[in-house]
């Protein structure tokens, strides 16, 4: 045992001085790492593979919280998703894997919906996005990964909304921007969307909470 220890110490001394040739020492040390750890190829691990689409085919309607079970295991919906007229849905946590909705997304008339938790991975909606008549909805923060809306964006009569944080990464809206009748949403909360609004025709921003914008906040869009 003492002899083997002396041999290992000698080999480590040579390695630290002249470099590592695994073929010379593998019978004694295995993989040639001075610290004794196994050598692994980390390059393959550093390249993140894109998540393959696993789409639910067709339109999907949700009225009760238990309805979400039909979307278990999917990260994409090849159709429209409607979540409406619910009395028991408080969040959207069952949609936590959804990245793409290739049709429209309508969230409306949900009496207890307080948060969009569950939509944190959503990146694109192929058609319109409507979030309307959800009286207890407090924010849109969970949409921070949303980049593209193929149709119009409607945010109407959500009386709990006080800001539009969460929409700051939207780069494209294919239709109109319609933000109306949100009684606690200041007009100036839509001003950070000016780049998108400047490229669209027919945007409607009306009947929200009356306030005054500073010119620097308003940019080219006139908040009234």
CB-based contacts of 184, cutoff 8 Å, min separation 6? 159, 160, 161, 162, 209
| Lowest mean pLDDT, pick from 92-96, 140-144, 175-179, 197-201 | 197-201
Residue 223 lies in a domain: no
Q: Are 131 and 199 within one domain?
A: yes
Give the three-class secondary structure for 223.
coil
15: containing domain: 2-46
Q: For residues 72 and 193, what is the distance between their CA atoms, to the nearest angstrom?
A: 34
Burial class of residue 62, CB neighbours in 10 A (0-12, 13-18, 19+): buried
Q: Grade residue 204 by pLDDT with cuts at 50, 70 and 90.
A: confident
At 171, which CATH number?
3.80.20.20
Q: Are 30 and 59 within one domain?
A: no
Contact present, 116 and 140 (Cβ < 8 Å): yes
**pLDDT for the residue numbered 123:** 98
Q: For residues 59 and 61, what is the distance between their CA atoms, to the nearest angstrom?
A: 7
Residue 112 lies in a domain: yes
Contact present, 8 and 29 (Cβ < 8 Å): yes
Q: Are 75 and 177 within one domain?
A: yes
Q: Are 66 and 6 within one domain?
A: no
Split into its structural domains, the chain has a count of 2
């Amino acid at each position: 045992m003492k002899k083997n220890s002396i041999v290992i110490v000698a080999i480590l001394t040579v390695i630290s001085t002249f470099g590592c040739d695994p073929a010379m020492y593998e019978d004694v040390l295995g993989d040639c790492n001075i610290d004794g750890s196994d050598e692994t190829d980390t390059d393959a691990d550093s390249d993140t593979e894109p998540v393959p689409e696993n789409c639910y085919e067709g339109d999907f309607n949700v009225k009760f919280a238990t309805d979400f079970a039909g979307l278990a295991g999917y990260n994409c919906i090849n159709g429209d998703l409607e979540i409406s007229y619910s009395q028991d849905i408080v969040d959207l946590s069952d949609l936590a894997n959804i990245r793409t909705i290739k049709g429209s997304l309508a969230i409306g008339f949900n009496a207890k919906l307080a948060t969009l938790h569950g939509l944190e991975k959503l990146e694109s909606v192929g058609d319109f996005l409507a979030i309307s008549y959800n009286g207890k909805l407090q924010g849109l923060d969970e949409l921070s990964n949303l980049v593209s809306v193929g149709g119009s964006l409607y945010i109407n009569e959500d009386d709990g909304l006080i800001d539009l944080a969460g929409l700051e990464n939207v780069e494209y809206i294919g239709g109109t921007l319609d933000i109306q009748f949100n009684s606690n949403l200041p007009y100036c909360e839509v001003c950070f969307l000016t780049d998108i609004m400047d490229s669209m025709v027919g945007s409607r921003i009306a009947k929200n909470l009356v306030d005054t914008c500073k010119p620097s906040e308003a940019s080219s869009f006139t908040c009234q």
